[in-house]
């Protein structure tokens, strides 16, 4: 009885510490961290294979990773104007789909200012910072929020008896809201430096890698934590 009571807390502390260590250890090594992230997604899909709600969230996150990889490949193309057109066009489309989101007005305002800044840099022949990549990452995060928001309804169309909102939905929705806001303030700081000449304003620029890593680490922890919580009752009965 005592073991059953303290096991969840012990495991939470243990794995929490492991993921914090993994976050520090993989800082600056995106490839290794991606492998850990994918590994946790596969682990979650395997142990929760009968839970369509968890699987739905896992599928959304897989889509997000695939889109990010595709976006990075596109950003490496030599046709910068075409890349910008694709990324900003996608941003406006996602805004239209997510216009009910509480952050949508901030998103649209930032994208509009970014577009005006791009026009300013283009016509003034000034070197433009590559803010279109952050536009894409913010767009991707907003898309995740949208997919999580509609997931229950979509799942209910195919599994009406099993579809329900779970804690993982809420965590991912909020987490990617913070992630998208991080990208937007990064864009805003670039514009302030490049358009208005406040070149010493680099607060977000220098803290961005640490905050982004912390958010990514927390995402891995949340996915693992919620999945093992579903698995734990079965382990304790064994």
Distance, CA of 127 to CA of 238 (rounded, Å): 63
- Over 50: is that where the pLDDT of 5 sits? no
Residue 22 token pair = 């993994």
Residue 179's nearest CA partner among 107, 115, 98 is 107
- Over 60: is that where the pLDDT of 179 sits? yes
**pLDDT tens digits, 54-97:** 899 999 999 999 999 899 999 988 889 999 999 999 999 999 99
Distance, CA of 22 to CA of 26 (rounded, Å): 6
Contacts of 86 (CB under 8 A, 6+ apart): 74
Collapsing DSSP to helix, strand or coil, 102 comes out as coil
Residue 233 token pair = 């009752």
Write down how long the chain is.
Answer: 238
Mean pLDDT computed over 147-170: 91
Distance, CA of 238 to CA of 235 (rounded, Å): 5
Distance, CA of 14 to CA of 16 (rounded, Å): 5
Model-level pTM? 0.87
Across 3-7, 155-159, 219-223, the highest mean pLDDT is recorded for 155-159
Residue 75 token pair = 């950003």
């Amino acid at each position: 009885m005592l073991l059953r009571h303290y096991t969840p807390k012990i495991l939470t502390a243990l794995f929490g510490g492991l993921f914090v260590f993994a976050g520090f250890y993989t800082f600056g090594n995106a490839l290794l961290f991606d492998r850990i992230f994918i590994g946790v997604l596969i682990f979650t899909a395997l142990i929760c294979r009968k839970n369509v709600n968890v699987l739905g969230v896992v599928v959304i996150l897989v889509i997000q990773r695939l889109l990010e990889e595709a976006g990075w490949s596109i950003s490496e193309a030599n046709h910068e104007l075409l890349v910008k057109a694709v990324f900003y066009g996608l941003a406006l489309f996602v805004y239209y789909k997510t216009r009910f989101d509480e952050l949508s007005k901030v998103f649209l305002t930032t994208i509009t200012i970014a577009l005006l800044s791009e026009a300013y840099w283009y016509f003034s022949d000034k070197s433009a910072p590559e803010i279109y990549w952050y536009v894409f990452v913010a767009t991707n995060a907003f898309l995740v929020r949208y997919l999580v928001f509609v997931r229950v309804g979509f799942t209910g169309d195919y599994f009406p008896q099993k579809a329900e909102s779970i804690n993982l939905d809420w965590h991912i929705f909020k987490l990617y809201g913070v992630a998208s806001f991080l990208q937007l303030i990064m864009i805003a700081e670039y514009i302030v430096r490049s358009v208005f000449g406040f070149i010493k304003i680099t607060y977000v620029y220098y803290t961005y890698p640490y905050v982004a890593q912390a958010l990514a680490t927390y995402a891995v922890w949340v996915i693992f934590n919620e999945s093992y919580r579903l698995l734990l009752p079965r382990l304790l009965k064994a």
